[in-house]
Amino acid sequence: MLELAILGFLYDHSLHGYELRKRITALTGHVRPVAESTLYPAIKRLEKAGLLARETQPGAVAAPRHVLSLTDAGRNELRRRLAEPARADITDENRWFTVLAFLRHLDEASAQAAVLRRRLDFLQEPASFFYEGDRPLRAEELDDPFRQGILTIARATSRAELAWLRKTLASLG
């Protein structure tokens, strides 16, 4: 997730870690903030794996900056992760949004459409949060107003996303 965001942001521009941090915070920080002590080790991991390169600049403002850029292997890896997301990247909205945020980096519309279709399939699975035996319960069948809320909100999200997915899939041809 974090790694995907790092690769995704660096695909467009080289950035130093601090700027990267600000962009990741803007993207997902209001939901799930990223600690510095998580970001910098992640950068090191990716660097060690040969996915990104580091060039140290003398500090213009403060401490020396490490300007990061994707290697060819890094670009390939980003495309691979976007084209073949893990199951959790499809099902978990937080992860899914990160995939969506960078999906334009896939070159082919058909590959983009394939990813959207996986999300579509997932949303169409008959899944609920609450069951009676094996039968999924509908909001109206619950007497707990908070659990009703969960189903109400999830249904609204699902509806909106299905509409958007179908529209976008149609426009991708």
Non-local CB neighbours of 11 within 8 Å, separated by 6+ positions: 70, 75, 78, 102, 105
Cα 21 from Cα 40, distance rounded (Å): 9
23 binding DNA? (CB under 7 A): no
48 binds, among its own copies, DNA, none (CB under 5 to 8 A by kind): none
Here the tokens at position 49 are 């794996």
Note the residues at the interface with its own copies (CB under 8 A): 26-28, 30-32, 88, 91-94, 97, 100-101, 103-104, 112, 125, 127-131, 144-147, 149-150, 152-154, 156-157, 159-161, 164-165, 168, 171
Selected binder of DNA within 11, 14, 27, 45 (CB under 7 A) = 45
Distance, first Cα to last Cα, the chain: 28
Stretches 5-13, 41-49, 101-109, 146-154: which one binds DNA (CB under 7 A)?
A: 41-49
Residue among 14 and 148 whose Cβ is closer to its own copies: 148
Q: CA 39, 91, 12: angle at the middle one, nearest 5?
A: 45
Give me the least distance between CB of 60 and DNA, in Å please. Answer: 6
**Residue 78 CA neighbour count, 13 Å, CB half:** 29
Q: Return the residues of window 46-75 that contact DNA according to CB under 7 A.
A: 59-66
